[in-house]
């Protein structure tokens, strides 16, 4: 019985104020709730509150306890038929946080109490209309044994004190009305890192990051990122923080990345804790971006929230756009853009081409948890980026200002959001709304004709979006295509468009086919189109390899320079995988890469991205049906050619970039490390004794986790006794550090060697493997299924069987995390039939199992196309 957007009705009752009182105990926590309820509109509906896994102790209306006959309770609801128009409802329930392994609602992690309520976890804490359009002011009293020294909730601490029997309490008040999904509570022994920030209006905000005892120094980078985020939001969007206190808590058992609870963000510790010895540059980068993301939600999510869960992209796509813009300002626009697009293609494009494709704003669901997807988040961000491109930065900012002004303190919709931009820009954006409602990745094909005599270039761009489940026919969308021209020597050529002299222009497609004529094109042009990846589409062009070499050598748009290299590599790998290797082309490519590497002006971080060949999942999307084994082999062959051809350059890079002195996580230093590790990774394609020695030396000499992992990953690719020795050494050294042990599991899961599946299965019996901890589970199981295509797609089907077994086992206690493992099987139609049928068979086996959660049931049915 799916939930549909078209069925939306405003809430029957509103709750202006709530007082919650928690009496915490691991197995028997008591929750008393006192709700000021009023009827919303004229109707005689009964009061119906969500509540799951709650032991009801008592219910009272206006101080009078209800008899059993005066209320109904089932597994999902508490219903009170006869209630007045305004009343006080009091309930008391008992819950068992310690045995809550779904990690939703109130649960325990590492001996501490914590919560996760988004999307529908609050109903596991108390009876409540669990929907985002009921906004209430919360006062929360927490009482516990003093063995739980810190008692935290949203807002401001208004009272605390001692109680008899070794107990104490604290009372918190959040002055901002909020939906229940933003409620949070934390209690336990924690260390705290404190700081302060003066906001733009001169208010001082206390900043506190709470972590496991002994870990406070590892929160320093997150604190620094938080302060930079707060300043950036003031400067870029005029948004100031609104409470006197901002807290973040890190927990080890968490179903996803982090959560923006008002004034009390809760983070997966993997996205918060970092020091040079235990965290890689990539960890630092992700911490910076997630700290920013959750902080930015304070305005786009908390102050303005979603009317219903179909509007999820309203806060998520927008907030991803904001965090990507922040990261670009912190770390460089081109490099950040390339990384964001790589992630978009790897996750969202794959989703959009499979049975789980859905619009940025879906219209029905079974479990909303299944819609925290790359489409909602990453494509949701791309849509905002296009909006900004289409109306220009000033109108975009004006639209955001209007949105904040008009909707502050409310729960709203994507339509209302877009309306703000239509008003601010004076443009009709009704066609643009198609980006929210239509699933699928548009395909563009670009062709151009140059007329030497007239010095004109005609560019024709056609668009087409392939059908997706439930949407057989598609309409044309407004698509901004940023383009510029080079000449055959790689110099920028100016041109005239409608009489205006330009270096670059944005062509907005609105029909199935759009033609533009550029004049004053003096020399034969090379077209650089879709610069900066101006729209989330797949584009093919009539460009020849020689044109791509021109772009690779000198496109001033660094995204397209990188893209040209990827395109060339992709074609060479696909040709090889199809049994038609282009040896001459490969040599030419290796030479061009050599020139790009020696470009002194280029940023090392950019060169590192250039050196990385398209990933195997990326290649699998490019040609279907995909043969993962052939793609793996062909990709390695190209890497080997580069490793041989560029051996001297790569070794020189590797030794030249060696750093001495203190570690700094800044972008420039990280870029140099990235390039050095990328050089090593490429050299590792040539598994000679000499390479193994180099990698082992790299691993041993590493003074930080980035280099240690770089060395270990290279040794993994080479294999042999050096690898085994390093693995052993690594574990012995880091076994007390959970986040590092996760890396140890993950590197083994990525191993393309034939023995890897056996090793991975063996690791599930390792004493450190704990499937109840989502980080550990994902390090082994998701890494294997998502990043080791050649072994996951073993022709025997053993890789699929392994994943299905894990899904079934985890689903028994943690449906949300189990459901996230289904995705790799979902692409079964894109693979060679022999593999696809085996994948499908595992999906059928899952579906036939008893006691499946709604979460897994929904994804598996959709994956099989049976929805
Ligand atoms: N709102 C959180 C964030 O993006 C993620 C919450 C995920 N919840 C879920 N049920 N999957 O920052
Ligand atoms: Zn978010």
Residue 686 confidence (pLDDT) above 80: yes
707 in contact with ligand 1, CB cutoff 6 A: no
627 in contact with ligand 1, CB cutoff 6 A: no
pLDDT tens column, 738-760: 999 999 999 999 999 999 999 99
368 in contact with ligand 1, CB cutoff 6 A: no
Residue whose structure tokens are 């998502």: 786
Which residue lies with its CA nearest to atom 3 of ligand 1?
Answer: 259
Element (H, E) at 167: strand 167-178
**Residue 292 Cα, ligand 2 centroid: separation in angstroms?**
10
Average pLDDT over residues 515-540: 98
**Residue 657 Cα, ligand 2 centroid: separation in angstroms?**
37
Residue 867 confidence (pLDDT) above 80: no
418 in contact with ligand 1, CB cutoff 6 A: no
The structure tokens listed for 134 are: 């009921």
Tell which atom from ligand 1 comes closest to the C-alpha of 120: 10
pLDDT tens column, 798-836: 999 999 999 999 999 999 999 999 999 999 999 999 999
The DSSP code sequence of 736-749 is: T-HHHHHHHHHHHH
Confidence of residue 660 (pLDDT cuts 50, 70, 90): confident
pLDDT tens column, 151-169: 999 999 999 999 999 999 9
369 in contact with ligand 1, CB cutoff 6 A: yes
| CA 410 remoteness from chain centre | 26
**Residue 440 Cα, ligand 2 centroid: separation in angstroms?**
22
**Residue 199 Cα, ligand 2 centroid: separation in angstroms?**
23
- Give the pLDDT confidence score for residue 723 in this predicted structure: 98
Which residue lies with its CA nearest to atom 9 of ligand 1?
Answer: 369
Among the bound ligands, the one closest to the CA of 319: 2
Proportion of the chain in helix, strand, coil states, percent, rounded to 5 = 45, 25, 30
- Residue 849 contacts by C-beta under 8 Å, 6 or more apart in sequence? 808
Tell which atom from ligand 1 comes closest to the C-alpha of 369: 10
294 in contact with ligand 1, CB cutoff 6 A: yes
119 in contact with ligand 1, CB cutoff 6 A: yes
Tell which atom from ligand 1 comes closest to the C-alpha of 258: 12
- Catalytic residue, from 90, 143, 288, 294: name it: 294
Q: What percent of the chain has pLDDT over 70?
A: 100
- Residue 7 contacts by C-beta under 8 Å, 6 or more apart in sequence? none
Residue closest to 814 by CA, chosen among 29, 26, 112, 253: 253
- Give the pLDDT confidence score for residue 420 in this predicted structure: 99
* Cβ burial, residue 606 (10 Å; 0-12/13-18/19+): buried
Among the bound ligands, the one closest to the CA of 317: 2
Distance CA 295, CA 289 (A): 10
| CA 303 remoteness from chain centre | 22
Tell which atom from ligand 1 comes closest to the C-alpha of 316: 4
* Cβ burial, residue 540 (10 Å; 0-12/13-18/19+): exposed
Angle at 586 between CA 580 and CA 590, to 5 degrees: 165
**Residue 19 Cα, ligand 2 centroid: separation in angstroms?**
27
**Residue 259 Cα, ligand 1 centroid: separation in angstroms?**
6
**Residue 29 Cα, ligand 2 centroid: separation in angstroms?**
29
**Residue 47 Cα, ligand 1 centroid: separation in angstroms?**
28
Active site residue 294: yes
pLDDT tens column, 209-264: 999 999 999 999 999 999 999 999 999 999 999 999 999 999 999 999 999 999 99
Measure the N-to-C terminal CA separation of the chain; round to a whole number of Å. 11
The structure tokens listed for 39 are: 């009827």
- Give the pLDDT confidence score for residue 699 in this predicted structure: 98
Residue closest to 606 by CA, chosen among 668, 666, 657: 668
216 in contact with ligand 1, CB cutoff 6 A: no
- Give the pLDDT confidence score for residue 171 in this predicted structure: 99
134 in contact with ligand 1, CB cutoff 6 A: no
What is the rounded average pLDDT for all residues in the chain? Answer: 98
Which residue lies with its CA nearest to atom 8 of ligand 1?
Answer: 118
Residue closest to 604 by CA, chosen among 659, 529, 668: 668
Residue 687 confidence (pLDDT) above 90: no
The structure tokens listed for 42 are: 């004229």
272 in contact with ligand 1, CB cutoff 6 A: no
- Give the pLDDT confidence score for residue 185 in this predicted structure: 99
372 in contact with ligand 1, CB cutoff 6 A: yes
Q: CA quadruple 186, 94, 306, 351: dihedral positive or negative?
A: positive
260 in contact with ligand 1, CB cutoff 6 A: yes
259 in contact with ligand 1, CB cutoff 6 A: yes
Distance CA 162, CA 154 (A): 21
- Residue 729 contacts by C-beta under 8 Å, 6 or more apart in sequence? none
C-alpha pair distances (Å), 209 with each of 190, 264, 629, 699, 809: 9, 10, 46, 33, 34
Among the bound ligands, the one closest to the CA of 316: 2
- Give the pLDDT confidence score for residue 1 in this predicted structure: 85
Which residue lies with its CA nearest to atom 5 of ligand 1?
Answer: 259
Mutating to test ligand 1, I would choose from 229, 259, 373, 859 the residue with most ligand atoms within 8 A of its C-beta, which is 259
Tell which atom from ligand 1 comes closest to the C-alpha of 104: 10
Coil, strand or helix at 710: helix
Which residue lies with its CA nearest to atom 12 of ligand 1?
Answer: 259
Among the bound ligands, the one closest to the CA of 257: 1
Among the bound ligands, the one closest to the CA of 855: 1
Coil, strand or helix at 580: coil
Distance CA 87, CA 481 (A): 57
Confidence of residue 547 (pLDDT cuts 50, 70, 90): very high
């Amino acid at each position: 019985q799916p939930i549909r957007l078209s069925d939306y009705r405003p809430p029957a009752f509103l709750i202006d104020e709530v007082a919650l009182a928690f009496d915490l105990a691991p197995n028997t926590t008591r929750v008393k709730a006192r709700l000021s309820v009023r009827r919303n509109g004229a109707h005689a509906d009964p009061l119906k509150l969500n509540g799951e896994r709650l032991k009801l102790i008592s219910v009272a209306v206006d101080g009078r306890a209800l008899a059993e006959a005066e209320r109904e309770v089932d597994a999902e609801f508490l219903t009170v038929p006869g209630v007045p128009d305004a009343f006080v409802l009091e309930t008391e329930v008992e819950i068992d946080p310690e045995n809550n392994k779904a990690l939703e609602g109130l649960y325990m992690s590492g001996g501490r109490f914590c919560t996760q309520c988004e999307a529908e976890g609050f109903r596991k804490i108390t009876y409540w209309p669990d929907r985002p359009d009921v906004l209430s002011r919360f006062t929360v009293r927490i009482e516990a044994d003093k063995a739980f020294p810190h008692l935290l909730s949203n807002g401001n601490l208004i009272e605390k004190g001692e109680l008899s029997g070794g107990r104490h309490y604290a009372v918190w008040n959040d002055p901002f009305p909020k939906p229940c999904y933003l409620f949070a509570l934390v209690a336990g022994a924690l260390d705290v890192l404190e700081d302060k920030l003066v906001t733009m209006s001169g208010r001082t905000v206390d900043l506190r990051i709470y972590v496991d005892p002994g870990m406070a120094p590892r929160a320093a980078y997150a604190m620094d990122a938080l302060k930079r985020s707060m300043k950036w939001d003031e400067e870029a969007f005029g948004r100031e923080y609104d409470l006197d206190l901002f807290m973040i808590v890190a927990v080890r058992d968490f179903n996803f990345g982090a959560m923006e609870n008002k004034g009390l963000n809760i983070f997966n510790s993997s996205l918060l804790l970092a020091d040079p010895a235990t965290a890689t540059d990539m960890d630092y980068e992700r911490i910076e971006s997630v700290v920013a993301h959750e902080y930015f939600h304070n305005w786009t999510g908390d102050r303005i929230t979603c009317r219903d869960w179909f509007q999820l992209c309203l806060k998520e796509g927008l907030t991803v756009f904001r965090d990507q813009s922040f990261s670009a300002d912190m770390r460089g626009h081109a490099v950040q853009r390339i990384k964001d697009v790589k992630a978009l293609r790897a996750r969202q494009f794959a989703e959009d081409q499979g049975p789980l494709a859905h619009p940025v704003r879906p219209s029905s669901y079974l479990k909303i948890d299944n819609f925290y997807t790359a489409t909602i988040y990453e494509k949701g961000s791309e849509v905002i980026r296009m909006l900004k491109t289409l109306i220009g930065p000033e109108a975009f900012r004006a639209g955001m200002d209007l949105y904040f002004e008009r909707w502050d303190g409310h729960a709203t919709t994507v339509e209302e959001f877009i309306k703000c931009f239509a008003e601010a820009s004076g443009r009709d954006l009704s066609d643009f709304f198609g980006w929210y409602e239509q699933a699928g990745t548009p395909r563009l094909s670009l062709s151009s004709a140059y007329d030497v005599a007239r010095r004109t270039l005609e560019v024709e761009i056609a668009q087409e979006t392939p059908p997706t489940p439930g949407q057989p026919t598609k309409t044309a969308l407004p698509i901004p295509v940023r383009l510029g021209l080079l000449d055959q020597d790689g110099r920028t050529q100016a041109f005239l468009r409608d009489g205006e002299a330009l270096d670059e222009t944005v062509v907005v497609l609105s029909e199935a086919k759009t033609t533009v004529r550029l004049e004053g094109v003096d020399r034969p042009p090379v077209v650089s189109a879709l610069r900066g990846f101006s729209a989330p589409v797949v584009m093919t062009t009539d460009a020849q390899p020689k044109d791509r070499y021109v772009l690779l050598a000198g496109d001033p748009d660094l995204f397209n320079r990188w893209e040209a290299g990827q395109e060339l590599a992709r074609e060479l790998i696909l040709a090889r995988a199809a049994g038609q290797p282009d040896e001459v082309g490969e040599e030419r490519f290796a030479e061009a890469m050599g020139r790009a590497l020696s470009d002194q002006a280029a940023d090392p971080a950019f060169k590192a991205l250039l050196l990385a060949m398209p990933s195997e999942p990326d290649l699998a999307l490019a040609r279907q049906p995909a043969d993962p084994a052939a793609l793996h082999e062909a990709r390695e062959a190209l890497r080997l050619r580069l490793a041989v051809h560029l051996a001297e350059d790569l070794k020189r890079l590797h030794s030249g970039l060696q750093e001495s002195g203190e570690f700094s996580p800044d972008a420039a230093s990280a870029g140099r490390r990235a390039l050095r590790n990328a050089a090593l990774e490429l050299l590792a394609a040539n598994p000679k004794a000499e390479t193994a020695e180099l990698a082992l030396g790299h691993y041993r000499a590493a003074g930080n986790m980035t280099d240690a992992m770089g060395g270990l990953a290279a040794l993994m690719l080479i294999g042999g006794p050096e690898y085994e020795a390093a693995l052993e050494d690594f574990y012995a050294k880091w076994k007390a550090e959970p986040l590092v042990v996760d890396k140890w599991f993950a590197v083994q899961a990525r191993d393309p060697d034939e023995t890897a599946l056996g090793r991975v299965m063996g690791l599930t019996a390792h004493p450190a493997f704990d499937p109840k901890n989502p980080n550990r589970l994902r390090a082994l199981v998701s890494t294997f299924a998502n990043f080791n295509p050649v072994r996951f797609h073993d022709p025997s089907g053993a890789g699929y069987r392994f994943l299905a077994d894990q899904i079934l086992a985890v689903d028994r206690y943690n449906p949300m995390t189990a459901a996230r493992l289904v995705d790799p099987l979902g692409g079964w139609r894109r693979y060679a039939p022999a593999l696809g049928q085996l994948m499908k068979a595992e999906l059928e086996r899952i579906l036939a199992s008893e006691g499946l959660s709604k979460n897994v049931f929904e994804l598996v049915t959709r994956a099989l196309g049976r929805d």
